[in-house]
Each structure stands twice: as C-alpha cells, then as structure tokens.
Amino acid sequence: MFKTRPVCEVKDDQEDTSASTSNAPQIGETEAHKLWIHCNSCCELFCKKKFIFFLLACHHVSCERCVKVAAGRTPSDASIYTCPVCKRSVRGRQVNNAMPTNFKNFFHPEPYALTNDFLETFQRANHRHLDKHKEKKENEMDKVLKDIELVKSVCQKRYLEYQMLRVERKRMTERTRQLKVQLANEKAERQRIAQAKINRVVTSQKPTSSTPDRANSQTSQKRRSSKELTRSTLVKRKKVTSFSHQPNNSFNL
C-alpha cells in the first residue's frame, strides 16, 4: 500500500521550498500533507495560495495561470478547460472544500485508508512529478552555483589585474610628469644657450661698427670740401661782369 512520506521529509521539502522563494508563506504541520499538490504544468504549489487550482477530468491538476477556460454549453454546465499538459478540452472542478466528496478524496491525506487504488496511484504520480521537478531545479541550482564560483574566480582575477594596472597607471603618470619637467628644463637650457650665442655675436660685432662711421665721416668731409670748392669757383666767376673790349678800329668795306 502507498503511504505518505514521514513528517521529517515533509519538513525538509518545506524548508527547501521556502528557501527557493523568498515570498513563500510559512507552512505548518497541519498543512504539510498538501505539499504534493501542485500545478502539473508550472509546478506552482497549492499551499502558497497564490492561484486557484483546478482538478481536470483528465486527472491533471492545473492552476488558473496555466489553464484555459471556455464557457459551458448551458449555464448549469461546468466550465470547459483546455488542459496545459495533455491539451485536451475537459471539464474540471476548483480545488477547495466545496468540491464533491468523490473529487475531494483525490487530495485525501491518507489515501491508503480509502478503498480506492486509483486515488493512491494519482497521488503517487503527482509525488513523482514533483520530485522530478525538484531534482531538475537542484541540478540547475548546482550548475548556477558552479557558474557563480567560476565567475567569482574570474572576477577576482580581473580585480587583481585591475589593481596591478591601476598601480602601473599611477607609476606611468608619475613618470610622464617627470619627463615633462625634464623636457621643460631642457627647453629652457636650449633657449638660454641660444640667447647666450646671440649675445656673444652682438658683442663681437660692436667694435667693427665704428669703421663705417669713419668712412661716412670722411665722405661727408669730402662732400663739404667739394661744395666749398664749387662755391669758391662760383664766386670767382661772378666777378666777371662784362666782355673784354678790343681797341676800336672801325673801317668801311
């Protein structure tokens, strides 16, 4: 006969479920027997009481988020649902205390006490489905943890490289500043040397500059002497005021 799992295992499942979702409500021992009730499509738990659950005629359990509802043929008919697992259009009932007894017994906490093997098979199948989902999530979690460790190691390596590059950058910045100061000093030294050369050239050219002055003075003296000579000749020429007359020897031809 099928038996429910021990309370300790139920508590462990409860702790795993509450750890996986931060907003999961606290589930007491009185509701521990409901932990296996879940949506066969998205594996949402019924005990969280976030969504309305339906028991479909195809013996699948679905939440209102996954199931599709269509109107019945008459107002008295139950609604027709499209099962998200087998994709069939079937009737269904909402999972609550108002369900008929024959449907409510599917979720009985002690199905082995009922003389119906199908209920026991139904619950066992749901247990297996939920266990497979948990195993899948655990494998995904292990993979995520490994990826996190890998990313963490890579980030630590990159952080060390970044710190080394940061130190190298500071060193290069200081070296650049020193080189700029050195270049500025060399430039100032070159300018000083060039200015000193110019000063030496200027001082060496000053004595030779008197020779053209002397030449200029001599030429000016020559010009003055020539002007005086011309003035004296002009004065002498101005003394001759008339022609010299020859003796008057008149005669007729």
pTM of the model: 0.53
The confidence score (pLDDT) of residue 133 equals 93
Could you tell me how many residues make up the chain? 253
> What is the residue extent of each domain of the chain?
7-149
Full pLDDT tens readout for the chain, 253 residues: 334 444 444 445 545 544 444 444 455 566 778 889 999 999 999 988 899 999 999 999 999 999 887 655 544 456 788 899 999 989 888 999 888 988 999 998 888 888 888 999 999 999 999 999 999 999 999 999 999 999 999 999 999 999 999 999 999 999 999 999 999 999 999 999 999 988 888 888 765 544 555 666 677 777 777 777 777 666 555 555 555 556 665 555 4
The confidence score (pLDDT) of residue 214 equals 62
